[in-house]
Amino acid sequence: MSVMVDDDLWSAVGDPIRRRMLDLLLNDGSGTATSLSERLPVTRQAVAKHLVVLDRVGLVHATTAGREKQFRVDQAQLARAVAQLAEVGAAWDARLQRIKRIAETIQRRRGTTNDSEKKQ
């Protein structure tokens, strides 16, 4: 019960801005704090802070070239994060289905023809 989750990794992808950043980086292959901030509703500095967070949990890596600092996604680590999402989702899903089955069984045992709880 209660799937084990790396809270740092989870909370890293928990932020909507960070998810959009990962989206952009995956689409473009790489990007800088400045280039990302141009396509996001926050300032460069805010983006830079998020990049620090993502870098700290290993979801992105940076390579400095001259005055630019290019970031790109670490696919392996993102795969791990995705796996955790799937894990939690699957655990809850299974439990919900179990509860639903039990509820239906009870209804059936009562011989009820009440159809007020068909789908969700």
Partner DNA sequence: TCCCTCACGCAACCAACGGTTGCGCGTTTC
Partner DNA sequence: GAAACGCGCAACCGTTGGTTGCGTGAGGGA
Q: Which residues bind a copy of itself (CB under 8 A)?
A: 1-2, 5, 7, 10-11, 14, 16, 19-20, 22-23, 26-27, 75-76, 78-79, 81-82, 85-86, 88-89, 92-93, 95-96, 99-100, 120
Q: Sign of torsion, CA 33 38 41 44?
A: positive
Q: How far is the CB of 65 from a copy of itself (least distance, A)?
A: 22
Are 33 and 54 contacting, i.e. CB atoms less than 8 angstroms apart? no
Residues 77, 95 contacting (CB under 8 angstroms): no
Site membership for DNA, residue 15 (CB under 7 A): yes
Query: Site for DNA (CB under 7 A): how many residues?
Result: 22
Kindly identify the residues of this chain, within the stretch 60-79, that bind DNA according to CB under 7 A. 65-69
24 counts as binding DNA under rule CB under 7 A: no
Least distance in Å: CB of 103 to DNA?
A: 25
Nearer to DNA, 67 or 119 (CB): 67
Enumerate binding residues for DNA (CB under 7 A). Answer: 11, 15, 17, 32-35, 41-46, 48-50, 53, 65-69
